[in-house]
Chain A
Amino acid sequence: MSKMARFVLTVNGERREVEAEPDMPLLWVLRDLLDLTGTKYSCGIGVCGMCNVHLDGELTPSCSVPVAAASGREVTTIEGISPDGSHPVQQAWLEERVSQCGYCQPGQIMAAIALLRRNPTPDDAAIDEVMGGTLCRCGSYPRIRRAIHRAAGKVGA
């Protein structure tokens, strides 16, 4: 039954080869095959956004992308944003003290960066529209909003 195949992806700028079933979600390729565990699993069905990555720059829940569909494309995960938290969005997150348990925050930051690239100074409605895709059980939403306003204008396209 095995349909194992070889796939080549570019992850955080590096060429990575994996052997996997074509329908294995990108999320599990990242986490379990490539040991990039900053991308989190929570629902597995595309409703929580905690598994957010950028696929060719587009915000995408990685649990909903089969590896075959990511093959040959550019994947950016939270590990590819900055190693030390110096990206302006991460800085805003630190300054606003956003994180509680922290589990959703990689997904939130990936969503915020995607938002700010497209819309450098979003208003609250624009924030709600994009950030509504990523859940936080700890209720850090008010701070996420403040952090996005703080990072406004600091993210290049």
Chain B
Amino acid sequence: MSALQNPGRRSFMVTTVAAGSGLLLAFALGSCGAVSSANGRSGFRPNGWLRITPGGRIIITVAEAEMGQGVHTSLAMLVAEELEVGMEQVEVEQASVDNRLYGWQSTGGSTSIREGWEPMRRAGATARQMLVEAAARRWQVPPGECRARLGVVEHPASGKRATYGELASAAAQLDPPSQVSLKDPASFRIIGRATGEVEAVPVVTGRLRYASDLKLPGMLTAVVVHCPVFGGGVRSVASEAALRVAGVRRVLEIEEGVVVLAEHFWAAQQGARALRIEWDYGAAAGLDSAGIRRLFQSHADRFDSIDQELARALESAPRRLEADYHIPFQAHAVPESICCTVHIHDGICEVWVPTQSPSDAQEVAARLSLSRPGYLLQRLKGKLLGRPFDTVRIHTMRLGGGFGRRLAVDYVVEAVKIAKLAQAPVRLLWPREEEIRYGYYRPASLHRMRAGLDRQGMPLAWHQLAVGAGGFRSPYYSIPARGGDTLKLESGVPTGPWRSVGHSYNAFVIEGFVDELAAAAGRDPLDYRLALLEDEPRFRAVIEQAAERAGWGGRLPEGHHLGLAAHPSFGSLVAQVVELSADRERGIRLHRIVCVVDCGRVVNPDTVKAQMEGGIIFGLTATLAGAITIRNGRVEQSNLHDFPLLRMGEVPPIDVYIVPSSAPPGGVGEPGVPPVAPAVVNALYAATGKRIRELPVKPEELFQ
């Protein structure tokens, strides 16, 4: 066991609600800013709770939103391991938002396990030690003679035993220990083992209620029709026909568009279709994908402020390579369409919402549901008392897919506005068409890649000019002169984070271009990469294992080809090899994808595998299936028939291997996405000799 100093008593707080009501332990995940909290323990800002009731229930309350990444299960595993209970003994509860207790809440960037790894285990260990101490005092034996196992403390010498529930209230009378012992990883029973999801049964029985499934008494359903052109507005609305639709109650206008309120979704959608709206399309009406591409290109052509030393290194190299890569807009297509339910009653604004940003949701709900002075007063009160916006209650619901789309809270804004006007509980649910056409897309961008090679074909200099995107990324390969520049341009199309954010396109352009350099050098793409990674043994090992598992350099079935790509992100290293065949007659056929991940210490290997598989399929869909294009200021696609997602038969077998590691845990929700697109185009190059620098892949161009 390793003893760990509890950094001051302040990092745990025992709260007894009433005598005999069990043990309640508060703890803090991740970095927490110092606040002067109401309880006067300055510097401690808990954002998780562990509760043991006298009846023996063990309830873990966390701020993280569950959206399929298995975070509730993984966090519970960390606690259960150190608390010495079985997974079936713990319940996980989603916190409702109270910034005073949970800090600023947001789930994104694959951070949950990275931030929870230590505090969650320490919380479990602290509770266990207190329970053991309580038992030892009761039996008047040294605590060292007692042991905790599966929710019971035992004193083997005397045969005495007591359940955690029986000890909870007595433990609550004790001070949390200043030192806790964490288990040696070698003795982990739960961490590192494949564990099923804590909420799995309600999912497979259809009983799990997502936000869009909630029904409140007197609730109306709202559908919003947004201006098809970005930035446009309503000129006039003729709503007579809509109001004649059975079940439609009202037609309203808000800044974001025209709202139909009805008794149920079908009526609202029919009403929305019957609206006659004259739009003011505004300035963006001429926008299209080709124009955006020309804009990016003209900026790239005019760019001349590259670092002088790097420019010299590029120009003086014996061989130079240059290529433009194009990335399209991508939609999230969250399976549960955009939704939010709001009920304003008794001076409280209650919000049920699947969101990755509950704190943002609370802030906008407060701003919109309160009068301006009321809002300012609440905000001030919040600053002074550390208890902001207690007139807003956010219920973070399980997400029917997030992928970054639910980091924005535009739908909360709409739902609160509508609920205020409607004076009734309102469920806002966007028809799929609105979700596809009115998103925050993965930004389109152009990447001008340049490299200078020595006579052996090894790179001396590397430069990436990223136009339109969030930012370039320096390659992790050792190249004497390397760097990049970013030209951030607003295309007029709303953009936002999309699973793996900038890594999704930077991996594509870096790994695609490195493959080009290897080809120019006449070298094997694997050897070429390894030669540039001499100082990165951990990354090398991941790539080597992926190549080996995929049979790189060995004999493949007739017509099969391999493509390799690797990319580190969110603290994890991932390499993937795609095996495919491609010919004019039968098109592109994927046979297998091998994925090797080193994400540090693994909490739930099954979650890691599931997230790699899911990330690969998400990335593969954007590589092969479709994209968002703009014409006349509007998104050309409207639903899943013209923004298709890959289907089961289009996805090859995926083999995931996890590299055992004792490094700190890395993220897993996003790092599986980036390598797959470049691995596919690199395999297509191996198969056809044709270099693809634009997504999605268009088979008809490949076989021209």
Interface residues of A (CB under 8 A from B): 1-4, 21, 24-25, 28, 31-33, 35, 37-45, 47-48, 50, 77-79, 81-85, 90, 93-94, 97, 99-106, 109, 125, 127-129, 131-145
Q: How far is the CA of A104 from the CA of B399 in the complex (A)?
A: 12
Q: A103-B401, A135-B640 are in contact. Are A142 and B613 (CB under 8 A)?
A: yes
Residue numbers in A under 8 Å from B401 (CB-CB): 101, 103, 137-138
Q: Is the CB of A140 within 8 A of B221?
A: no
Residue numbers in A under 8 Å from B538 (CB-CB): none
**A–B complex contacts, Cβ < 8 Å, 12 sampled:** A42-B336, A42-B640, A43-B639, A78-B206, A83-B205, A93-B200, A93-B204, A100-B68, A132-B649, A136-B335, A137-B335, A143-B610
Q: Is the CB of A84 within 8 A of B264?
A: no
Q: Is the CB of B200 within 8 A of A99?
A: yes
Q: Is the CB of B213 within 8 A of A85?
A: no
Which B241-282 residues have a C-beta within 8 angstroms of A?
Answer: 244-247, 263-266, 269
Additional A-B contacts beyond A28-B264, A102-B203, A134-B648 (16; CB < 8 A): A37-B213, A40-B336, A41-B429, A79-B206, A90-B204, A99-B203, A99-B204, A101-B400, A105-B204, A131-B649, A138-B68, A138-B335, A139-B616, A140-B613, A142-B613, A142-B651
**Across the two chains, which residue of chain B brings its CB closest to A32?**
B264
Q: A38-B207, A145-B648 are in contact. Are A100 and B246 (CB under 8 A)?
A: no
Closest Cβ of chain A to B613, distance in Å, is: 5
Q: A1-B245, A38-B205, A101-B400 are in contact. Are A43 and B640 (CB under 8 A)?
A: yes
Tell which of B215, B246, B400, B645 touches A35, judged by Cβ atoms closer than 8 Å: B215
Closest Cβ of chain A to B411, distance in Å, is: 16
Q: How far is the CA of A48 from the CA of B645 in the complex (A)?
A: 9
Residue numbers in A under 8 Å from B199 (CB-CB): 102
Residue numbers in A under 8 Å from B653 (CB-CB): 142
Residue numbers in B under 8 Å from A138 (CB-CB): 68, 335, 401, 614, 618
Task: Check if B209 is an interface residue, CB within 8 A of chain A.
Answer: yes
Closest Cβ of chain A to B671, distance in Å, is: 14
Main secondary structure of the interface of A (DSSP, over half): loop
Q: Is the CB of A47 within 8 A of B641?
A: yes
Task: Check if B212 is an interface residue, CB within 8 A of chain A.
Answer: yes
Residue numbers in B under 8 Å from A83 (CB-CB): 205
Q: Is the CB of A44 within 8 A of B68?
A: no
Tell which of A25, A45, A90, A100 touches B205, judged by Cβ atoms closer than 8 Å: A90
Residue numbers in A under 8 Å from B586 (CB-CB): none
Closest Cβ of chain B to A124, distance in Å, is: 8
Q: Is the CB of B335 within 8 A of A104?
A: yes
Task: Check if B69 is an interface residue, CB within 8 A of chain A.
Answer: yes
Task: Check if B210 is an interface residue, CB within 8 A of chain A.
Answer: yes
Q: How far is the CA of A83 from the CA of B206 in the complex (A)?
A: 9
Tell which of B264, B614, B647 touches A140, judged by Cβ atoms closer than 8 Å: B614
Q: How far is the CA of A26 from the CA of B518 in the complex (A)?
A: 57
Q: How many residues of B contact A (CB 8 A)?
A: 63
Task: Check if B60 is an interface residue, CB within 8 A of chain A.
Answer: no
Q: A33-B264, A35-B215, A103-B335 are in contact. Are A139 and B613 (CB under 8 A)?
A: yes
Q: How far is the CA of A144 from the CA of B651 in the complex (A)?
A: 12
Tell which of B204, B245, B617 touches A139, judged by Cβ atoms closer than 8 Å: B617
Q: Is the CB of A94 within 8 A of B648?
A: no
Closest Cβ of chain A to B677, distance in Å, is: 15
Interface residues of B (CB under 8 A from A): 67-70, 194, 196-197, 199-201, 203-210, 212-213, 215, 221, 244-247, 263-266, 269, 333-337, 398-403, 429, 431-432, 606, 610, 613-618, 639-641, 645, 647-649, 651, 653-654
- Please give me the 5 A-B residue pairs with the lowest Cβ-Cβ distance, nearest first: A38-B206, A139-B617, A128-B649, A100-B68, A101-B68
Q: Is the CB of A97 within 8 A of B399?
A: no
Residue numbers in A under 8 Å from B246 (CB-CB): 1-4, 21
Q: Is the CB of B648 within 8 A of A141?
A: yes
**Across the two chains, which residue of chain B brings its CB closest to A106?**
B206
Q: A44-B431, A100-B69 are in contact. Are A28 and B265 (CB under 8 A)?
A: yes
Q: How far is the CA of A44 from the CA of B213 in the complex (A)?
A: 16
**Across the two chains, which residue of chain B brings its CB closest to A80?**
B206
Q: How far is the CA of A129 from the CA of B269 in the complex (A)?
A: 32
Q: A94-B196, A106-B206 are in contact. Are A48 and B614 (CB under 8 A)?
A: no
**Across the two chains, which residue of chain A brings its CB closest to B266?**
A28
**Across the two chains, which residue of chain A brings its CB closest to B650?**
A132
Q: How far is the CA of A77 from the CA of B400 in the complex (A)?
A: 19
Tell which of B201, B402, B654 touches A85, judged by Cβ atoms closer than 8 Å: B201
Q: Is the CB of B648 within 8 A of A41?
A: no
Q: Is the CB of A101 within 8 A of B335?
A: yes
Residue numbers in A under 8 Å from B207 (CB-CB): 38, 79
Q: How far is the CA of A84 from the CA of B640 in the complex (A)?
A: 32
Q: How far is the CA of A44 from the CA of B506 in the complex (A)?
A: 35
Q: Is the CB of A84 within 8 A of B205?
A: yes
Q: How far is the CA of A3 from the CA of B639 in the complex (A)?
A: 29
Residue numbers in A under 8 Å from B245 (CB-CB): 1
Residue numbers in B under 8 Å from A43 (CB-CB): 432, 639-641
Closest Cβ of chain B to A91, distance in Å, is: 9
Closest Cβ of chain B to A46, distance in Å, is: 9
Q: Is the CB of B335 within 8 A of A50?
A: yes
Q: Is the CB of A42 within 8 A of B205?
A: no
Residue numbers in A under 8 Å from B337 (CB-CB): 41-42
Residue numbers in A under 8 Å from B641 (CB-CB): 43, 45, 47
**Across the two chains, which residue of chain A brings its CB closest to B427?**
A32
Residue numbers in B under 8 Å from A129 (CB-CB): 649
**Across the two chains, which residue of chain B brings its CB closest to A111?**
B648
Closest Cβ of chain B to A45, distance in Å, is: 6
Q: How far is the CA of A133 from the CA of B333 in the complex (A)?
A: 17
**Across the two chains, which residue of chain B brings its CB closest to A44?**
B432
Residue numbers in B under 8 Å from A31 (CB-CB): 213, 265
Q: Is the CB of A42 within 8 A of B68?
A: no
**Across the two chains, which residue of chain B brings its CB closest to A19?**
B246
Q: A97-B196, A97-B200 are in contact. Are A140 and B205 (CB under 8 A)?
A: no
Tell which of A4, A79, A103 touches B210, judged by Cβ atoms closer than 8 Å: A103
Tell which of B265, B432, B647, B651 touches A42, judged by Cβ atoms closer than 8 Å: B432
Interface hub of B68, B204, B645, B653 (most chain A Cβ within 10 A) = B204
Q: How far is the CA of A66 from the CA of B542 in the complex (A)?
A: 53
Q: How far is the CA of A2 from the CA of B267 in the complex (A)?
A: 11
Q: Is the CB of A140 within 8 A of B212?
A: no
Q: Is the CB of B645 within 8 A of A24?
A: no
**Across the two chains, which residue of chain A brings its CB closest to B655?**
A142
Interface hub of A21, A78, A97 (most chain B Cβ within 10 A) = A97
Closest Cβ of chain B to A31, distance in Å, is: 7
Q: A141-B617, A141-B651 are in contact. Are A97 and B197 (CB under 8 A)?
A: yes
Q: Is the CB of B200 within 8 A of A1?
A: no
Q: How far is the CA of A138 from the CA of B337 in the complex (A)?
A: 14
Q: How far is the CA of A135 from the CA of B645 in the complex (A)?
A: 7
Interface hub of A45, A134, A145 (most chain B Cβ within 10 A) = A45
Closest Cβ of chain B to A107, distance in Å, is: 10
Q: How far is the CA of A126 from the CA of B257 in the complex (A)?
A: 45
Closest Cβ of chain A to B248, distance in Å, is: 10
Q: Is the CB of B400 within 8 A of A103?
A: yes
Q: Is the CB of B266 within 8 A of A24?
A: yes
Closest Cβ of chain A to B536, distance in Å, is: 29
Q: Is the CB of B208 within 8 A of A132?
A: no
Closest Cβ of chain B to A16, distance in Å, is: 16
Closest Cβ of chain A to B654, distance in Å, is: 6
Q: A47-B639, A97-B606, A139-B618 are in contact. Are A103 and B244 (CB under 8 A)?
A: no
Q: How far is the CA of A145 from the CA of B658 in the complex (A)?
A: 22
